[in-house]
Structure 1
């Protein structure tokens, strides 16, 4: 069994990290994959406890002290360097009428600045006072170090520590080190399960349209992507009812519905869509997969999330129920083999070292509960979570589907403005129709409208 030590040795980058390293090398002057969250807290009665909770969280989160360098062989490597651990920067803006706006402008400027992974600390931690009991906690990192779940893990740990300091509750176990995940991942890649998972994905790719491939470095990340937001809160009751009728969890139901809509609607360069002479449509969509259940990474802030293709195969005359049943089975198989890295799938498929898959359309349903700080009203705002390739659908809510929000984004180079306006209006209408009581027995073309 491989045994990396968190503070003693240089460690290799994972396949996922190597992709972000190459992105950095190809786009060194562009702030591409910085990730940053802001937790806005109102009602903080123990500011000292909040400060200590954040500082303890920083001390536990070893990836905040991640250092990269090039080895003698020219390959990137990483280690935990306590000297890179960010101090908690404290600022007071409550003397300014526009203090909140000024604070957000300062945080956004930090996010927008290029981040040199070889020379600059990878993380920043700020605590900004806006008024009595009113604070902003700014948590900035990079996708090479952690994903969205990892960010949420850090936030929940800080909230647990704050509760322990203010209410005497048990804060639970500390976060686990990056080395634990690297050891487990190395052992998985040498196991029979890894071989079996690879065989599964070879079969999947043999049955879908040829996946689009990008040459690394050719990404044309738009400075102003099209985007449209929709409040889906009014659909929650219908979503929960349809979940019971369809026998599928609500995050999977929304994922499948968005995949169906994409197969029916996206016909531009953002999708590898293949209709046949009879009108049947085959198209892969891309899904982030958390890949943490049953793994030590459930308690490790790190880059663990995978991106995997889901084969959409449908005919507009099929009923919604028939297609949902088929996609539900595919989603279960995706999870069963979801630890197998997309970077390895690309290598297995003959994608060259200087190329990668084009992850579009991408559907990301995020049912994450926000961190609960006792006695406070807390709100998370995502300042940056990395760019998308083409057409992106994101749905955020808590674990009970409260506060459902839909964000649709598209690259103007692939989706013309008039088409985007039509598509951005079409998806929420399709979701509303698909969640109606009798929708399961209706053909897809009727639901699209």
Structure 2
């Protein structure tokens, strides 16, 4: 088959340039927990006769267009800088699992080992993609992306560009021109923003809200560091619930995201006994057309203060959440980490995090010529507490509600119980009239709820119990560093057993 030639590669500036505020915050967080990679991982399940060499070629073209996939970090006078450094052989690798007894299981294990492995900032590129062959006509396009290089919005932009380039090539036509700004231009635009009145306005908005913040509520009272992988439970919403979610006419002035956040905040309030709860939300911080079509790490995570009042109706709560969401969206470029630091909040306190809810209801229909690809999120990164992800996946598309939880803080049965309760609240809240008393929603669950005493109370667990839990989750994770000696959780466990004997 004759294919149109893909576009030529973009010329890159190779001089180092500083990290943005968002990137620097992630770089610092990675220094604090070097064995827990702050990466997102995903794959696209492509079924049918894929032209592997063409796919690798257009993926390389897209990589050159967006540049982030070639980022490395280097030290310049004691400060981290980024440099665009395409390797000599930048083509995507191909891994063949067809000889395995269960090719899909073998590929899933390979991906898990890859995205939980430590990233060496000094030597590794921050993005990695591979094409995993699990059948003659089935491939998984896998990507592991460090958040310093790309946020989730940019990662999806890159995926869509590869699909568009492949489709144009097999159809024998020229692709739409790439209109993404290069990374040096994005850095200059960030500097311009930080010198602008808009930056001052955004900073004032978040400073005012953060001054009156409360300690984050959590669905667990167990304190523990993040792990490299998460406990996960997911389910698809029913077709009736999805139809109601998409029917904004039933929620005048309120978005689907507001309704979903309201349902989760209601559960969080009931479980903690608190009327004011904080829910973290990710914000794309892409407020202009050029930012929305470009790559890079721009995203911001901001706390949304949700007030859940005893006398609320469903409409009251959803409208209140929508009001807070609109303010957050208007000021989404203000970097909350920067502002907390300026307010004198310690680095340790800034890392105390409650639940996050990430609503990703954009279309994920991917076509590669005549082939379709199903998009699947493996991880959105290490989870300090709990992350609620709502996204579309599959063909035909289902709307998935997924809980990713810190395995050091939640048991599997606890997570499943919370997940079932929240999905039930989503179903009931969306089906209810706005004037329905909030107390009538999920009423059958209220009697059996056991409140969490407090997000920061001391857990009733022994040190051996914590050690055993850590060994069960990740025995190779670093547990103790003393001088030049490093011990993993497995080694500490073995040594304590020898001592006990």
- Taking structure 1 as the reference length, what is the TM-score of the superposition? 0.86
Alpha-carbon distance between aligned partners in 1 of 2:115 and 2:356, rounded to the nearest angstrom: 23
1:141 aligns with 2:145: yes
- Pair member with larger Rg: 2
Displacement after TM superposition at 1:424 (Å): 2.2
Alpha-carbon distance between aligned partners in 1 of 2:188 and 2:358, rounded to the nearest angstrom: 28
Alpha-carbon distance between aligned partners in 2 of 1:244 and 1:150, rounded to the nearest angstrom: 32
> Where does structure 2 lack aligned partners over 5 or more consecutive residues?
1-10, 218-222, 444-501
Displacement after TM superposition at 1:338 (Å): 1.0
User: Which residue among 373, 383, 388 is the counterpart of 2:378?
Assistant: 383
Displacement after TM superposition at 1:92 (Å): 3.3
| Contact residue 63 and residue 69 of structure 2 kept, 8 A | yes
| Contact residue 233 and residue 405 of structure 1 kept, 8 A | no
Match of 1:270 in 2: none
Comparing 53-62 with 151-160, which one deviates more in the overlay?
53-62
Alpha-carbon distance between aligned partners in 1 of 2:396 and 2:336, rounded to the nearest angstrom: 29
Q: SS of the residue aligned with 1:304?
A: coil
| Contact residue 234 and residue 402 of structure 2 kept, 8 A | yes
User: Which residue among 418, 424, 432 is the counterpart of 1:423?
Assistant: 418
Alpha-carbon distance between aligned partners in 2 of 1:45 and 1:363, rounded to the nearest angstrom: 35
User: Which residue among 123, 130, 135 is the counterpart of 1:126?
Assistant: 130
Match of 1:215 in 2: none
Comparing 417-426 with 329-338, which one deviates more in the overlay?
417-426
CA pair 110-306 structure 1, distance change in 2 beyond 3 A: same
1:65 aligns with 2:43: no
Alpha-carbon distance between aligned partners in 1 of 2:88 and 2:183, rounded to the nearest angstrom: 15
Alpha-carbon distance between aligned partners in 1 of 2:396 and 2:350, rounded to the nearest angstrom: 34
Alpha-carbon distance between aligned partners in 2 of 1:364 and 1:290, rounded to the nearest angstrom: 11
| Contact residue 41 and residue 145 of structure 2 kept, 8 A | yes
Displacement after TM superposition at 1:223 (Å): 6.2
Comparing 298-307 with 44-53, which one deviates more in the overlay?
44-53
1:337 aligns with 2:343: no
Matches within 5 A, 1:244-259: 244-259=250-265
| Contact residue 225 and residue 410 of structure 1 kept, 8 A | yes
Displacement after TM superposition at 1:22 (Å): 1.7
Matches within 5 A, 1:322-361: 322-353=316-347, 355-361=349-355
1:78 aligns with 2:82: yes
Comparing 229-238 with 138-147, which one deviates more in the overlay?
229-238
Alpha-carbon distance between aligned partners in 2 of 1:228 and 1:65, rounded to the nearest angstrom: 33
What is the root-mean-square deviation of aligned Cα atoms in Å? 2.8
| Contact residue 164 and residue 170 of structure 1 kept, 8 A | yes
1:238 aligns with 2:232: no
| Contact residue 210 and residue 340 of structure 2 kept, 8 A | no
Q: SS of the residue aligned with 2:165?
A: helix
| Contact residue 58 and residue 85 of structure 1 kept, 8 A | no
| Contact residue 265 and residue 308 of structure 2 kept, 8 A | no
